[in-house]
Amino acid sequence: MQANKLLIDVLPDRFGICRLDPHASVPSWALTSPFYSVTRTPEEVSVVCHEGLIPDGILNEKGWRCLKVHGPIDFSATGILSSLAQPLARADVPIFVLSTYDTDYLFVREEDLSKTIEVLSAEGILLR
């Protein structure tokens, strides 16, 4: 899949990215989000969910917007994330990425969303 053939949807919600203790249980508050991800490593539990669900006292970064790459993306495809990350890095736009079996999700801060759309559109990527 080439960059100029990518189709990306900008999801309407705002998300938060949280860090919990590595031994924390999967938080029930995150499970009610229509989109959520929980990743456990030996160092932490990371949670991505709708920012309105994050309780006070949780270490987090709110205000992220999500761009969904239309999939499914074949496991043999190469350069998909690179075609998104490189132009955004040149434009000084920080990103956070999640991948699933079918596709990739790119998160940018809400204040960078317009710039992100402009940069990716200039690369021939169709955003809607």
Q: How many domains does the chain have?
A: 1
pLDDT at 111: 98
CATH of the domain at 17: 3.30.2130.10
Domain around 60? 3-127
pLDDT at 37: 98
Task: Please determine, for residue 107, whether its predicted confidence score (pLDDT) is greater than 80.
Answer: yes
pLDDT at 128: 87
Mean per-residue pLDDT over the chain, rounded: 95
pLDDT, one tens digit per residue, over 39-71 is: 999 999 999 999 999 999 999 999 999 999 998
pLDDT at 72: 87
pLDDT at 5: 80
Cα gap 71→73, rounded to integer Å: 5
Task: Name all contacts of 54-60 with Cβ < 8 Å and 24+ positions apart.
Answer: 54/16, 54/18, 54/29, 55/29, 58/18, 58/20, 59/18, 59/19, 59/20, 60/16, 60/17, 60/18, 60/19
Q: Provide the pLDDT confidence category of residue 1 given band limits of 50, 70 and 90.
A: very low
Look at the alpha carbons of 79, 85, 89, 90 in this order and tell me if their dihedral is positive or negative: positive
